[in-house]
């Protein structure tokens, strides 16, 4: 009986990783980082989080979608090394939030980051990426040059994901991204647009950092003030999402994790996990709502399942063939999924405003939302001495400042 129970635990733990897998590897594939390293840093980040939170909160940490645009910009303009250095410092934003919460409670964050600031910032994250999704959906190289096969593949991937979101049952309902990728990949195989050359050249066992250095997706992190100031403010959005995820998992398990181990500890765990990921070459981590959904469905509330998922991710990171298979996924498959995904991110931002009953008839709220949206989507960049601020990060900072200086307080 003990062996059967142990095997059941193993299967449930691996299933948690299966639920997160599609989104986990999507971020590195879109940003030019290495998916095998992302697997490793997701697993290690989850273990770090569990250690800091005294193994009390059953959540899984993996790649954050909020950082896709900043990483893409950083890789292009600052290079791999400086971008990874900036991602390391991103974790310190969580440390600051953690200290604020420890001193003043959740209200300390609500004071500086109310829904009128965070809602539009989350909308910017989704809307700013819309052209990327469209270009990927209609071409095989992401250039946006129309290709009939690419459009068909992206539409099938998109429709599959939508159907799973709307009509999926039990575990299937938790993996719309993975379902869309699998169906789109099968269609790509049928249409003959998948190249298995990366798989044939890959080793069965490999050290991901060595292979990533060869491909240019990893370099030893270096610290550049301009890169840090460009990317660090983006942490505002996932930090707010973190609070919502902790409340959600508290509701699922019937335990108040805001009180024990405390929101300051969960924020700190998320931040340290993000810094660890950045220094090792992975995308920033965030708590995964999909896994929270799986916990609610399976009633697997024991933290041991997250440890199993984390260790499985770490082990899989060293299987070279797996990483190579991920790299064979055609661009339109990802494009179709991203049309839904980026739109949902923007919709979550709108939902935040609606759920918190933010009165958009008030001039104050209208001004904050308008300025944040235009600065973020328009990708405004300002340089002060050697420091450059732009895009989502600048939009978030401007929103915070306007919320502080404009008369009136949103209750």
Which pair of structure tokens corresponds to residue 241? 């999402």
Give the residue from 245, 288, 319, 311 showing the smallest Cα distance to 47: 311
Q: What angle in degrees, to the nearest 10, is found between the helix axes of 236-253 and 80-104?
A: 60
What is the sign, positive or negative, of the torsion defined by CA atoms of 144, 150, 155, 161? negative
Tens digit of pLDDT per residue, the chain (411 long)? 465 566 677 777 777 787 777 678 778 888 889 888 998 999 999 999 999 998 888 888 988 877 887 888 889 889 999 999 999 999 888 888 888 888 877 777 777 778 888 788 878 877 877 887 888 788 877 666 787 888 898 999 899 888 887 887 766 666 677 788 888 888 988 888 887 777 777 678 888 888 888 888 888 999 988 888 888 888 877 877 787 778 778 877 888 888 888 888 999 999 999 999 999 999 999 887 767 766 766 677 888 889 988 998 898 888 878 777 777 878 788 788 878 877 877 887 888 788 888 888 888 889 999 998 998 888 787 776 666 666 777 888 888 889 888 877 654
Q: What is the pLDDT of residue 259?
A: 83
Q: Is 3 exposed, middle or buried (0-12, 13-18, 19+ CB in 10 A)?
A: exposed
Backbone angles phi, psi at 139, to 5 degrees: -150, 160
Domain count, the chain: 1
Residue 58 lies in a domain: yes
Q: Within a domain: residue 237?
A: yes
Query: How far is residue 286's CA from residue 93's CA, in Å, rounded to a whole number?
Result: 13
Q: Is residue 410 part of a domain?
A: no
Would 323 be classed as within a structural domain? yes
**3 state DSSP class of 63:** strand
For residue 361, the enclosing domain spans 2-405
The verdict on residue 411 lying in a domain is: no
Which positions ≥6 away from 20 have C-beta within 8 Å? 42, 60, 62, 288, 290, 291, 309
CA 32 to chain CA centroid, Å, is 15
Measured between alpha carbons, how far is 364 from 404 in angstroms, rounded to an integer? Answer: 11
Q: Is 374 contained in some domain?
A: yes
Could you tell me the two tokens for 31?
Answer: 């940003």
- Residue 176's pLDDT is 76
| pLDDT reported for residue 1 | 45
Phi/psi at 387 (5° precision): -100, 130
Residue 63, domain member (yes or no): yes
331 within some domain? yes
């Amino acid at each position: 009986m003990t062996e059967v129970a142990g095997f059941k635990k193993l299967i449930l733990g691996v299933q948690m990783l299966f639920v997160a897998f599609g989104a986990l590897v999507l971020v590195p594939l879109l940003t030019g980082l290495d998916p095998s390293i992302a697997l490793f840093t997701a697993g290690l980040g989850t273990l770090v989080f569990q250690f800091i939170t005294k193994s009390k909160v059953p959540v899984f940490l993996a790649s954050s979608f909020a950082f896709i645009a900043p990483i893409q910009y950083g890789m292009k303009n600052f290079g791999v090394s400086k971008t990874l250095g900036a991602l390391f410092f991103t974790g310190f934003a969580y440390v600051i939030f953690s200290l604020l919460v420890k001193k003043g409670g959740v209200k300390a964050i609500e004071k500086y980051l109310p829904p009128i600031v965070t809602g539009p910032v989350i909308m910017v994250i989704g809307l700013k990426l819309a052209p990327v999704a469209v270009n990927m959906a209609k071409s095989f190289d992401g250039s946006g040059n129309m290709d009939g096969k690419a459009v068909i593949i992206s539409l099938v991937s998109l429709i599959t994901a939508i159907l799973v979101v709307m009509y999926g049952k039990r575990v299937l309902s938790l993996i719309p991204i993975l379902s869309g990728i699998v169906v789109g990949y099968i269609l790509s195989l049928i249409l003959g647009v998948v190249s298995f050359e990366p798989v044939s050249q890959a080793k069965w066992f490999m050290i991901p950092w060595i292979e990533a250095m060869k491909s240019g997706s990893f370099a030893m992190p270096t610290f550049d003030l301009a890169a840090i100031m460009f990317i660090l403010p983006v942490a505002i959005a996932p930090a707010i999402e973190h609070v919502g995820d902790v409340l959600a998992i508290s509701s699922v398990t019937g335990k108040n994790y805001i009180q024990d181990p405390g929101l300051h500890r969960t924020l700190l765990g998320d931040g340290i996990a993000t810094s660890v990921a950045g220094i090792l070459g992975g995308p920033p981590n965030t708590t995964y709502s999909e896994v929270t959904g799986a916990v609610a469905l399976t009633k697997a509330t024991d933290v041991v399942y997250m440890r199993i998922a984390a260790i499985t991710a770490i082990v899989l990171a060293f299987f070279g063939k797996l990483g190579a298979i991920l790299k064979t996924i055609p661009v339109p498959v990802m494009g179709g999924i991203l049309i839904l995904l980026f739109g949902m991110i923007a919709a979550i931002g709108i939902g935040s405003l609606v759920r918190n009953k933010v009165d958009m008839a008030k001039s104050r709220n209208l001004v904050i939302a308008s300025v944040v949206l235009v600065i973020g989507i328009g990708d405004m960049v300002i340089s002060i001495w050697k420091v450059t601020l732009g895009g989502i990060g600048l939009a978030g900072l401007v929103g915070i400042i306007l919320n502080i200086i404009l008369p009136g307080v949103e209750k």
